[in-house]
């Protein structure tokens, strides 16, 4: 990948639109900074409730399967899980255009790990802060442990957020990264990760087709039934696992389409 992630751009759009709603699940005023001009005008007019709901409806119609609400629901769920973890530090793994280190008050020291191209694009649009450390790495090419060692990453109780990434990696990269997370973070650390149900990888869905068109096809998935055992093999004890559809219901958005196959799991390092 030689340019910034297009899927990261789309998630930023969904977060920016959500932030303009009166019944918003979160506020991300930074998301609009990562958008091209063709999307920024949508965000501006979305501040008018009837128009905003209409735009959301058009996106949901154009991209069936619920990518917009799935991104919104997972963002709010992960925000809540992060608050519950009360970590000493945060590791944003495959950070994309995540702005938690900027938008959430009193965030501890945060390490953002991402592909160099996406990270460069992000830093051009958002100011550096003293508590945020950037670690460029391509997880399909290099071990996470090596990158964190270069960054002098301390072994503390950490909240790891691995959002919207595993489905774009190889099985080997996911396996190696999970093992590195357990060895580089302290006991009791929380690992929050999203994943795609393996059954969806072979499905000919519009969502899957669209990400493949922009050069970011899904390459990895897990069977939800096997997740507790899979993570246990890597030294992690599962605490929860929800689909983004279930998360949408939790946050009183049952009528907005979200995916059953897109999931958020969280576990604790033994």
Compute the distance between CA of residue 100 and CA of residue 93 in angstroms, rounded to an integer.
12
Q: What is the DSSP letter of 235?
A: T
**Does residue 20 lie within any of the structural domains?**
no
Number of structural domains found in the chain = 1
**Does residue 179 lie within any of the structural domains?**
yes
Query: What pLDDT, in 10s, does the model give residues 187-208?
Result: 999 999 999 999 999 776 778 7
The per-residue pLDDT for 203 is 73
**Does residue 14 lie within any of the structural domains?**
no
**Does residue 214 lie within any of the structural domains?**
yes
The per-residue pLDDT for 1 is 43
**Does residue 177 lie within any of the structural domains?**
yes
The per-residue pLDDT for 213 is 79
Confidence at 180, pLDDT banded by 50, 70, 90: very high
Is residue 140 classed as helix, strand or coil in its secondary structure? Answer: coil
Compute the distance between CA of residue 7 and CA of residue 165 in angstroms, rounded to an integer.
10
Q: What is the mean pLDDT of residues 166-186?
A: 95
Compute the distance between CA of residue 89 and CA of residue 109 in angstroms, rounded to an integer.
5
Is residue 81 classed as helix, strand or coil in its secondary structure? Answer: helix
The per-residue pLDDT for 3 is 52
Q: Which domain holds residue 171?
A: 71-269
Query: What pLDDT, in 10s, does the model give residues 103-137?
Result: 999 999 999 999 888 899 899 999 999 999 999 99
Compute the distance between CA of residue 262 and CA of residue 172 in angstroms, rounded to an integer.
20
Whether 79 has a pLDDT exceeding 50, the answer reads yes
Tell me the CATH number at 109: 3.40.50.150
Q: Is the pTM of this model over 0.85?
A: yes
Kindly tell me the burial class for residue 188, based on how many C-beta atoms sit within 10 Å of its own C-beta (0-12, 13-18, 19 or more): middle
Q: What is the mean pLDDT of residues 59-80?
A: 96
**Does residue 15 lie within any of the structural domains?**
no
**Does residue 24 lie within any of the structural domains?**
no
Q: What is the DSSP letter of 153?
A: -
Q: What is the DSSP letter of 35?
A: S
The pair of three-digit structure tokens given for residue 265, joined into one six-digit string = 């799991």
Q: What pairs with residue 159 in β-bridges?
A: 90, 190
Q: What is the mean pLDDT of residues 133-143?
A: 89
Whether 179 has a pLDDT exceeding 70, the answer reads yes
Mean pLDDT taken over the chain: 94
The per-residue pLDDT for 4 is 59
Compute the distance between CA of residue 225 and CA of residue 48 in angstroms, rounded to an integer.
42
Query: What pLDDT, in 10s, does the model give residues 84-97?
Result: 999 999 999 999 99
């Amino acid at each position: 990948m030689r340019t910034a992630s297009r899927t990261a751009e789309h998630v930023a759009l969904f977060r920016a639109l959500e932030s303009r709603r009166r019944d918003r699940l979160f506020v991300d005023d930074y998301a609009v900074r990562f958008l091209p001009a063709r999307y920024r005008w949508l965000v501006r007019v979305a501040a008018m409730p009837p128009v905003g709901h209409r735009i959301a409806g058009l996106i949901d119609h154009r991209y069936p399967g619920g990518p917009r609400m799935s991104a919104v629901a997972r963002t709010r769920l992960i925000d809540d899980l992060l608050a519950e973890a009360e970590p000493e530090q945060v590791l944003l793994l495959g950070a994309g255009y995540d702005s938690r280190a900027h938008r959430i008050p009193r965030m501890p020291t945060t390490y953002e790990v991402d592909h160099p191209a996406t990270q460069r694009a992000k830093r051009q649009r958002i100011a550096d802060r003293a508590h945020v450390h950037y670690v460029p790495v391509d997880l399909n090419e290099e071990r996470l442990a090596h990158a964190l060692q270069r960054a002098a990453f301390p072994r503390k109780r950490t909240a790891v957020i691995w959002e919207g990434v595993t489905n774009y990696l190889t099985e080997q990269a996911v396996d190696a990264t999970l093992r590195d997370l357990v060895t580089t973070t302290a006991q009791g650390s929380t690992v929050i990760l999203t994943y795609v149900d393996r059954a969806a990888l072979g499905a000919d869905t519009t969502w899957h087709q669209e990400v493949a068109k922009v050069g970011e096809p899904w390459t990895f998935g897990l069977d939800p039934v096997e997740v507790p055992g899979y993570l246990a093999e890597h030294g992690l004890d599962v605490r929860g696992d929800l689909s983004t559809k279930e998360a949408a219901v939790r946050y009183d958005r049952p009528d907005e389409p979200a995916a059953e196959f897109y999931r958020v799991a969280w576990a604790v390092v033994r």
